[in-house]
Structure 1
Amino acid sequence: MKTNQKENKLWWLAAGAAALMAGVAVYRKLTSYDFNGRVVLITGGSRGLGLVMARQLAREGARLVLCSRDANELENARMELAGNGADVLVTKCDVTSEEQVNSMITNVQNEFGPIDVLINNAGVIHAGPVAEMTIDDFKESMDTHFWGPLYTILAVLPAMKARGEGRILNISSIGGKISVPHLVPYSASKFALTGLSEGLRAELAKYNITITTATPGLMRTGSPRHAIVKGRHKEEYALFKIMDSSVLTSKSAEASAAKIIDALRYGEAEVTTTLPAIVAEYLHNLSPGLMNSVFSAVNSILPGEGGIGKNRAKGYESETELSMSGLTERTQKAAARNNEL
């Protein structure tokens, strides 16, 4: 008799769990956002993750607006996307300039239509010991990762509020939740973006404006070539590129973009990609002191100060036999595929 009662309880628990999962699936389907015909602005959209997201959104019928500081990169992206049937507008803009951002938003809204979705993706990476970083490095990171998104958000908000809807995706980083050695300016500025994004989500919900924060781990976009490296820059770059290329520590740009876009589609508050990033976040929440000790140990084996010191070199200026070896083949192929060369 007791056995039958236990079996009945287990059956009802299983049935309840299945019903709950089915209900959640139906709710997500009914509340999912349709990108077809929507105007989507992607900052830093001419290469890397921005371009990968643009490709995926174009396949869903989105009308794309890509902005970047590089006119040649923008034209390459436009030709590819338009050649595949996308409705796309490109515009040169430095998002660290409030004046340029306001002018861009006004022009886009007048010429292409109201911006339904804003994706703040523009980024810059400074890699090297914090002792080799300058105030200008920190300012550049903050200008790009905090002030740039703030300028674009404030510029699109009035029209979104007037329409009573809008979606905003802020591409932060797992480095915006856990500060990583040798990426301190990057992490500090991404922390600022994460805080901005979370606060805005709470305040803008009443206007039916949904904010999603992406905190991805390493993605194979090909972006290390454009990183700013300091100190013993060739060693820094080779290590960064190897980590970026390994399937153990990174995720493909395409898989990452799909997961991030789904989070935006379903109005999720946050999305973290890659297993290492998810595990690191869990351990950091469990014991920040332990994670700090782990990172201190990691820092002890990273390249030290010296080399070019506080001078800066781009990744592509720091190539060596190691950084161009088979260990980085995936990143090199991603760079060619995603307009990073």
Structure 2
Amino acid sequence: MSEPRQNSEGNLSDPVALVTGGSRGLGLLLARELADRGMRLVICARSSDDLARACDDLRERGTDLLTLPCDVSDSAAAQQMIEKAVAHFGRLDVVVNNAGIIQVGPLAAMTVEDFHTALAAMCLGPIHVTLAALPHLRQQGFGHIINVTSIGGKIAAPHILPYACAKFGVVGFSEGLRAELAGTGITVTTVVPGLMRTGSHLRATFRGDPAREYAWFAAGASLPLVSIHAERAARRIITAGIAGKPELTLTPLAVTAARMAGLAPGPTTRLLGLVNRLLPKPPPDPRSRTGREARQELHSRLHDVLTTWGRRAAQQYNQVTGRDQIPRPRGG
């Protein structure tokens, strides 16, 4: 739907796209991509400050934009957001469920609240938004729903268990939703990314031994051979979504992991068990830190060099504010 479509009255109008979690990281890049394709935009996020900075970024592109603070884990808030979006633009054509959080650490350092928080944001959140948007899409008789899940929703890697539980749930919702909406003119695309260089490791929460957990996760989310450039990922996601493709898996590692899990679940589980042995063990006094705080505790010049690409992504994609700008590592 890169071109304007006919609405239910037979009139042509510019399509409208909604991106949840659209103020930074991948969400901001998805919003940019949609704007570059001529769509009017609604973006939502929990942080008004992040939304304000994203608004400046997107308006520089000449985008017709509405920003709405919203926590999609609240069903009433999601319903109100959809109603405001439709009231403002008169229509809704593309829904991108992207909002998410991530907690990294061993199960022994996680709490039941961590699971509730992850499930509310990344499983129930897309459900809330989709159910609120569906009546409008059904009335038009067409539309696209793009659910950004994760390879963590296909294979449950250790040390991200709350995240994986939530992503498994939204993968199931997305696949079942596509089947239920077959023939209605509304398509559903399940996006299964691997690691992307979005700078999101600075916004993640690290539990147990935060500095060591941050070390492995940030490196994986930064190195080019392991992660994909986020702008390339955003282009592929929007292209697949507006083409109505059933599923898109990003990065060769994610494709390989998904195939392994499907074809050889036993060996895959044993391999993940070996990986778990290599990951940091929880200390006697587990702690919790943000990515920024964990990085400061790590104090590693080599790690700063290894995460150069991730640091640049964080600065480009609204993951850090002016006062939080990350200095370049010496010699890097």
Same fold (TM over 0.5): yes
Shift of 1:301: 0.8
**2: CA distance between counterparts of 1:220 and 1:35?**
29
**What does residue range 53-72 of structure 1 map to in structure 2 within 5 Å?**
53-72=30-49
Q: Which residue matches 1:300?
A: 277
- Structure 2 letter corresponding to 1:112: F
Q: Which one of 133, 137, 145 corresponds to residue 168 of structure 1?
A: 145
- 1:321 is displaced (CA, Å) by 2.6
Q: Over the residues paired in the alignment, what is the CA RMSD in angstroms?
A: 1.2
1:285 corresponds to which residue? 262
Structure 2 regions of 5+ residues with no counterpart? Answer: 5-13, 321-332
Alignment pair present for 1:318 and 2:297:
no
Correspondence 1:125-204 to 2 at 5 A: 125-204=102-181
CA distance in 1, matches of 2:3, 2:265: 39
Q: Determine which structure has more spread, i.e. the larger CA radius of gyration.
A: 1
- Deviations 1:163-205 (Å, cap 9, x if unpaired)? 1111100000000000011001101110000000000000112
Q: Deviations over 1:320-339 (max 9, x none)?
A: 23385110000000000000
Distance 2:95 2:285 in 1: 38
Corresponding residue number in structure 1 for 2:2: 34
* Match in the other structure for 1:239: 216
Does the C-alpha gap of structure 1 residues 46 and 207 become closer, same or farther in structure 2, counting only changes over 3 Å?
same
Bigger drift between 329-338 and 265-274 goes to: 265-274
CA distance in 2, matches of 1:307, 1:278: 37
Letter in structure 2 aligned against 1:262: T
Partner AA of 1:191 in structure 2: F
- Give distance in 1, aligned partners of 2:225 and 2:2: 34
Q: Distance in 2 between matches of 1:234 and 1:113?
A: 48
Q: Percent identity?
A: 41
Q: CA deviation at 1:112?
A: 2.1
- Aligned to 2:202, which of 225, 233, 236? 225
TM-score normalised by L of structure 1: 0.88
Q: Which has the higher helix share?
A: 1
Give runs of aligned pairs for residues 34-113 of structure 1, distance below 5 A. Answer: 34=2, 37-113=14-90
Is 1:49–1:253's contact at 8 Å kept on the other side of the alignment? yes
SS at match of 1:230: strand
Q: Relative to structure 1, is the Cα distance of residues 35 and 125 closer, same or farther in structure 2, using a 3 angstrom cutoff?
A: farther
Offset at 1:308?
4.8
The one-letter amino acid paired with 1:222 is: G
Could you tell me whether the CA contact under 8 Å between 2:42 and 2:66 is conserved in 1? yes
d(CA) in 2 for partners of 1:338 and 1:307? 36
Matched residue of 2:221: which SS?
Answer: helix
SS of structure 1 residue aligned to 2:73: coil
Give 5+ residue unaligned stretches, structure 1: 1-32
Q: SS where residue 182 of structure 2 aligns?
A: helix
User: Could you state the TM-score of these two structures normalised by the residue count of structure 2?
Assistant: 0.90
Alignment coverage as a number of residue pairs: 308
Deviation of 1:206 after TM superposition, in Å, equals: 2.6
